[in-house]
Chain A
Amino acid sequence: MSVSAPASVSAPPSHAARCVVLPGMRGPWTERLFSALLQAPGTDIEVDDLAVGAHGALQDHDLQLALYVAYELHYATIEGVDDRWEWSPSLLGFRQTAERHFDRAVEELVPDCALQGTTDVGGALQRLVGGDEGPPLSRFVEARATREQVLEHVIHRSAYQLKEADPHSWAIPRLSGAAKAALLEIQFDEYGEGKPERMHSFLFAETMRGLGLDASYGAYLEQLPGITLATVNLMSGFALHRRRRGAIVGHLAAFEMTSSIPNRRYGNALRRLGYGPDVTDFYDEHVEADAVHENIAAWDLAGALARAEPQLAREILFGAYALLALEGLWAERLLDCWREGASSLLGPVASAEHSVR
């Protein structure tokens, strides 16, 4: 009889190599991309007739999944897909077409007045974040969300948190001097200060496991709606284009500046539902870590970058505002679905249902 090891065995944490299974196709964008990816690298991908769905690029489940998978080639192995696709010209052409639609939709969200006050970027970021009127997702989750809704929230976040900090690391070689040092001060902490078991992506995986969810990388891609994937595509897009280094820096600053308080609430939600420190550790860690990071990000990173390259100040604020706007749309989807008694995911989640206590 085979007995599985108890979860409490203090073996070194496993960090399995990332391998994503291609999810099901959702429409013309994913059909075009996925069928090409299963062929030899460089296979033509026709893009001329691809258009955005009726709900716009940000809410287009099909376009956003295609773009997410196109970026995923830089982060992970995709099962059955030749790694050489990563830099294949036909893939990059396809990605650029999707990015054009995505970028236009993001630009439409950001009002020009949000990008002013650019001589004092740290102060402008503070005002931007302080004036943000995002939907009250963390308050709702803290006080009222059901266990299933909390699990949904975690599943949405797995699109980013299982590779937490990785997109922003693309910016490291693109910065210099004080801004680079500040980014590395943050990233070193994100990556556990040399301890793999303290890496934030690992802490998130522990939370998922503690909740009975599948913590393997990409396990819930199938269920993630377009707007969730858009929040991650936003950072991958900023991060993978050097010309957008200001935007990825602004994105990180706003991310850190809006993290401590919501994460305390998410931890409280799990405590309310009876979970212990093994599950809340990820959130509790972020209350303290991001109270440090937000200052470094706003003043030492964004501020230093704006001093070194003053022409990037507007782009830094753009990245910050874009994050707030997309997170707002994402939170709105969750709250709207829950208000109607519906799931905010696309389709059922098998392992979450198994784990209902």
Chain B
Amino acid sequence: MSSSDTPPGVTITPYRDGPYLVRGSFEVLDQDGNQIPLSRRTIALCRCGKSRMRPFCDGTHKLAGFQAPGRAEELPGPPDANPGAPECRRAR
């Protein structure tokens, strides 16, 4: 499929440390050209590779500690500024 065939009005957004969200009018096909059923208008596609329901995201990236910026990476890939959380325990 050439880029000019892409239906207009589709956006694909990488979310920081998370999946790609796809919005608009689109369909998802498997490699044999069969339609993959979609259960909602906005879908999340796995970006970390660890989902157990690929191509969709199932939240597993959080367990895997997946990190990626919510924007395009430049070459060479800059380290994503994501400082560790200060030690903070729940008050009892």
Chain A residues within 8 Å of B, Cβ to Cβ: 108-111, 113-114, 116-117, 122-123, 126-131, 133, 185, 188-189, 193, 257, 259-261, 264, 285, 287-292, 294-296, 299, 324-325, 328
Contacts and interface: CB of A to CB of B under 8 A. Distances in A.
Given A122-B16, A123-B82, 8 more contacts: A113-B86, A133-B90, A260-B59, A287-B59, A288-B58, A292-B57, A295-B19, A325-B90
B41 to A, nearest CB: 6
A292 B86 CA distance: 28
Contacts of A260: 58-59
B91 interface: yes
B18 A294 contact: yes
B56 A116 contact: no
Interface of B: 15-19, 21, 39-44, 52-53, 56-60, 62-63, 70, 82, 84-91
Contacts of A324: 90
Which 4 pairs show the lowest CB-CB distances between chains A and B?
A: A260-B59, A127-B85, A295-B15, A291-B57
A229 B10 CA distance: 42
Contacts of A133: 90
B90 A291 contact: no
B19 A291 contact: yes
Contacts, number: 88
B13 to A, nearest CB: 8
A292 B43 contact: yes
A114 B86 CA distance: 9
A292 B17 CA distance: 13
Contacts of B91: 108-111, 325
A257 B16 CA distance: 13
A331 to B, nearest CB: 12
30 contacts: A108-B91, A109-B91, A111-B91, A116-B86, A126-B16, A130-B85, A131-B85, A133-B90, A188-B41, A189-B40, A193-B40, A260-B58, A260-B59, A261-B58, A261-B59, A261-B62, A264-B58, A288-B40, A288-B53, A288-B56, A288-B58, A289-B40, A290-B59, A291-B56, A291-B57, A291-B58, A291-B59, A292-B43, A294-B18, A325-B91
A117 B84 CA distance: 11
B82 A189 contact: no
B58 A292 contact: no
B45 to A, nearest CB: 10
A299 B58 contact: no
A261 B60 contact: yes
A113 B91 CA distance: 10
A118 to B, nearest CB: 13
Contacts of A295: 15, 18-19, 21, 44
Nearest to B40: A189
B41 A189 contact: yes
Nearest to B52: A264
Contact of B90 (A126, A299, A328): A328
A127 B83 CA distance: 9
A319 to B, nearest CB: 15
B90 A109 contact: yes
A231 to B, nearest CB: 15
Contacts of A123: 16, 82
Nearest to A321: B90
Contacts of B84: 127
Contacts of A127: 84-85
A292 B44 contact: yes
A332 to B, nearest CB: 11
Contacts of A126: 16-17
Contacts of A328: 90
Nearest to B51: A291
